[in-house]
Amino acid sequence: MSDLKTVSLFDTFVYQAEIPKYLDNKDFMAACNEHTDKAIAEAKETIEDRHKKLNAQIKDHGMSYHSGPELYKDERFAELALLVKSTSKNILEDQGFDLSNHTIDYTEMWIQKFAYEGGGHQDTHVHWDNHISGFYFVECSDRTSKPIFHDPRSGRMMLNLPIKNHSKLCPAMERQIFSVKPGTLLLFNSWLPHQFSVDNGVDPFRFIHFNLQAKKLTI
């Protein structure tokens, strides 16, 4: 039909930028290492308990180390935190939301490292009670875990049809795997289901995760 028009409804976006400059900042990397080392030290007891319960030395296989959730208060992350915060506000406003009576605040910001022995992953989830979520990748390679985003439309499961080309992004796709590198920043609406594939432990995999919420100003 030659006069058939396409109207795009309820678009889903993932915003990507390459910002490797923070990885060359000694203070930034020192903060990353400090918070990571603390998380690993705090998990030592958990690893020992797993050894006792399973009666096997599985080390940290399958684990994911999480720092505390308030890295946005660490001045060494201030520049990145401000960039993510201002960009999140711009994203929501560009999507049509009226934030004239709202402010954007962090609810969480933490650094996460997958197990040295491999097996680290995250199952599909969303971040309730937030508006923008994202990742900044500190260590990764072509061989490490990858973020995967899923079609958020619940009715999508009714279209159980074959896809022509899995390597080409199109409306038929039910999920999208992102290739990232050190310095990659990804931002997205917090309701978008996402996961991380199982890491093989060959190369280090570490990233900063953040959640932000638009809060109504009170008089």
Q: Is the dihedral of CA 15, 18, 22, 23 positive or negative?
A: positive
Please state the rounded mean pLDDT for residues 67-91: 97
Rounded to whole angstroms, how far apart are CA atoms 12 and 192? 8
* C-alpha to C-alpha distance for 138 and 36, rounded to whole angstroms: 11
- pLDDT (0 to 100) of residue 183: 98
Q: Average pLDDT for residues 22-29, to the nearest whole number? A: 98
Which range is least confidently modeled, 42-56, 78-92, 186-200? 42-56
Q: Pairing between strand 14-18 and 184-189?
A: antiparallel
* Phi-psi region at 10: left, alpha or beta (left = phi > 0; alpha = psi -120 to 50): left
pLDDT band at 53 (very low <50, low <70, confident <90, very high): low
Residue 71 in contact with residue 208, Cβ under 8 Å? yes
Query: Which of 17-31, 125-139, 143-157 is the least confident region?
Result: 143-157
Tell me which DSSP letter residue 5 carries: P
Per the rule left: phi > 0, alpha: psi between -120 and 50, beta: everything else, 55 is left
Tell me the pTM.
0.91
CA 128 – CA 134 distance, rounded (Å):
14
Three-state DSSP state, 31? helix
Torsion of CA 31, 71, 207, 66, to 10 degrees: 100
The pLDDT of residue 6: 86
CATH class of segment(s) 14-216: mainly beta
Residue 104: pLDDT above 70? yes
Tell which wins on pLDDT, 118 or 140. Answer: 140
Average model confidence (pLDDT) across the chain: 90
pLDDT confidence of 77, banded at 50, 70, 90?
Answer: very high
Which one has a higher pLDDT value, 108 or 165?
108
Flag whether pLDDT at 51 surpasses 60.
no
Contact between residue 205 and residue 120 where contact means Cβ atoms under 8 Å apart: yes
Q: Is the pLDDT of residue 128 over 70?
A: yes
d(CA 200, CA 116): 9
- Residue 160 reports pLDDT greater than 60: yes
CA dist 217 and 30 (Å) reads 35
pLDDT at site 117: 78
Residue with tokens 């999480």: 66
